Amino acid sequence: MSSRDQQSSLLSIGMPDRDQLNKELGGGIPRGSIVLMEGDYGAGKSAITQRMSYGLVNEGAQVTLLSTELTVSGFIDQMHSLNYDVTKPLLEEDLLFLAADFDTGGAFSDEEGDRMELLKRLMEAEVMWDADVVFVDTFDSILRNDPTFEALVRQNEERQAALEIISFFRDLISEGKTVVLTVDPSAVGEEAIGPFRSIADVFLKLQMVEVGNDVRRSISVKRFAGMGSQVGDNIGFSVRSGTGIVIESRTVA
């Protein structure tokens, strides 16, 4: 594959004047791929997701971001705090933000307050999948709050359930769409998350270490199929109010 073909197969996450994340990831994320971003609570999954979605929109991509943690106003406030102004992309519908409300009997409960089959509803939400890139943050919350998946877990059949979801994702990426899933591995069992690790074209593991009063975060690149240029195998970063993501260090194997 020529360098030009490699670049066209990548979706740039842009913002070279703000940070070096796009460069550190070899020029972007592969078009038509499944990206798994894994990390414990507080590791920075949502911040990286927000940074990627903002950069992609600025580069001309259509993006959907489903959050299980933020409301629309909370998302706008969070992006504003990182100096990522999403007002125009939201108004022009280049960025579609969806809030998955599990706690207040919202869109993911029926009229009687019973939980719906979330994964089924997710897969049937056609407008959500119209975008070039779809982020689900956090995907483990969808799994844990889906009564059908819960029942399969009790029967030790979560791997089979995961494979059915993966089949749906494979159909999407065959159309050139990119799906980015964030997962807290401590929230779901190995049998549930293992299949997603296996099929991910890009597997990023976010880690957080507290050193005294300092919090050090990093992105460990476990797998990166279809990379453009060299990708760092460990990318240090911080999340700064008013600035956004800041790349701090990089090591290459």
User: How high is the pLDDT of residue 105?
Assistant: 44
User: How high is the pLDDT of residue 122?
Assistant: 87
User: How high is the pLDDT of residue 151?
Assistant: 82
Angle at 85 between CA 235 and CA 126, to 5 degrees: 85
User: How high is the pLDDT of residue 100?
Assistant: 85
| DSSP sequence for 227-242 | -SS---SEEEEEEETT
User: How high is the pLDDT of residue 145?
Assistant: 86
Domains and CATH numbers, the chain: 27-205 (3.40.50.300)
Residue 136 pairs in a beta bridge with 66, 181
CA 14 – CA 16 distance, rounded (Å): 6
Pairing mode, if any, of strands 95-99 and 63-67?
parallel
pTM given for the model: 0.89
User: How high is the pLDDT of residue 227?
Assistant: 62
Angle at 73 between CA 123 and CA 122, to 5 degrees: 5
User: How high is the pLDDT of residue 8?
Assistant: 62
User: How high is the pLDDT of residue 148?
Assistant: 83
Per-residue pLDDT of the chain (253 residues; tens, 9 = 90+): 434 444 468 999 999 999 999 999 999 999 999 999 999 999 999 999 999 999 999 999 999 999 999 999 999 999 999 999 999 999 999 999 999 866 544 444 444 444 457 888 888 889 999 999 999 999 999 988 888 887 887 787 878 888 889 999 999 999 999 999 999 999 888 888 899 999 999 999 999 988 888 888 999 999 998 665 677 789 999 999 999 999 987 555 4
